[in-house]
Copies of this chain bind each other. A is one copy, B any other.
Amino acid sequence: MNRLFHASVAENKQLIKNHYLLTLRPLENIKKPKPGNFFMVAVDNGLDPLLKRPISIHRWLDGDFQLLYRVAGKGTSILGGKKPGDILEILGPLGNGFPLNIKSENIILVAGGLGIAPIFALAELLRKRNPSLFCGARTKNEVLCTDELKDIGIDPVVATDDGSSGKKGNIVNVLKEHIKTSHVTDNILFACGPEPMLKALSTLAEKLNLQGYIALEQHMACGLGTCLGCVVKTTKGYKRVCKEGPVFPIEDILWE
C-alpha cells in the first residue's frame, strides 16, 4: 500500500467547458480513500509546473477511482490534455477526510460549484441514511453530476445564480429556508465550495447553532504536513489543510 504510486488514465472525459472527469487505474495497490481525502497529482514529469496538484477523491470504483476537476491554470490545463494510457505519478490518499461516525439523523450536504467533487464521494457513502443534498452553481449547465446522483438515488435541491436550474439565488439562502421550515433540530452539515459560500454557511451555522464540517482549499507544496505551507487560521492556531484538514469543524475556522 504505497501512498506514492502511478496510475494510468482510463478515461479523461470533458463534461462541460473546462470541467473533466478523470478515471484512473492505479498500477500498484493503493489505500482506499475516504470522502474528503485528496491526492497530489503530478501533471507531467517536467520542472514547470513544479509541484503536484491537490485534487479530491470524487468516486471510488473498486480500485479505479475518479477525480472531477476544473481547468483553473497551468497544471490543470496540462491535465485536461491527458489521454487514455498516459501515466501519472500520484501521492495519496491524503488528509483527514470527513468524519464518518455521525450520530445525527439529519445529514445535510452542501456543494457549491465544484464542491460537488468531494461531496459526491460522501453522498455515495452515506446514501443509505438519506442525506439531503444542496447544490449551488452559477448556471444550469454547471450543475454537475446530476446523472451520477440519480444513480445513487439522491435528488439534490439545486439553486443557480441565474435561476436557469432549480431556485434562483444563493444555495445557502435556500438551505436556510429549508432548515427554517423543516423544524428538525439535530441537523449536521457537510460542505465544500467557494470561500464566500463557506463563510455564509459558517454564519448560518453559528446563528442556528448547527454542527458541521467543511472541506477547505489552500496552496500546497508537500501534501504531507512538512512544508507548513497550507495552513488556515483556526481557533486552535494555524492548522495544515493537508494534514489536520482539508475537513475542519465549521466553528473552528477564523475567517478573515
Q: Which residues of A contact B (CB under 8 A)?
A: 46-48, 74
Contact = CB atoms under 8 A, between A and B. Distances in A.
Interface SS majority for chain A: loop
A75 B23 CA distance: 29
Q: Work out how many copies of this chain go into the complex.
A: 2
5 contacts: A46-B46, A46-B48, A46-B74, A47-B48, A48-B48
A48 B49 CA distance: 9
A74 B44 CA distance: 13
Nearest to A86: B81
Nearest to A83: B83
Contacts of A74: 46
Contacts of A48: 46-48
A47 B46 CA distance: 10
A85 to B, nearest CB: 11
A30 B47 CA distance: 33
A188 B74 CA distance: 52
Nearest to A44: B46
Contacts of A46: 46, 48, 74
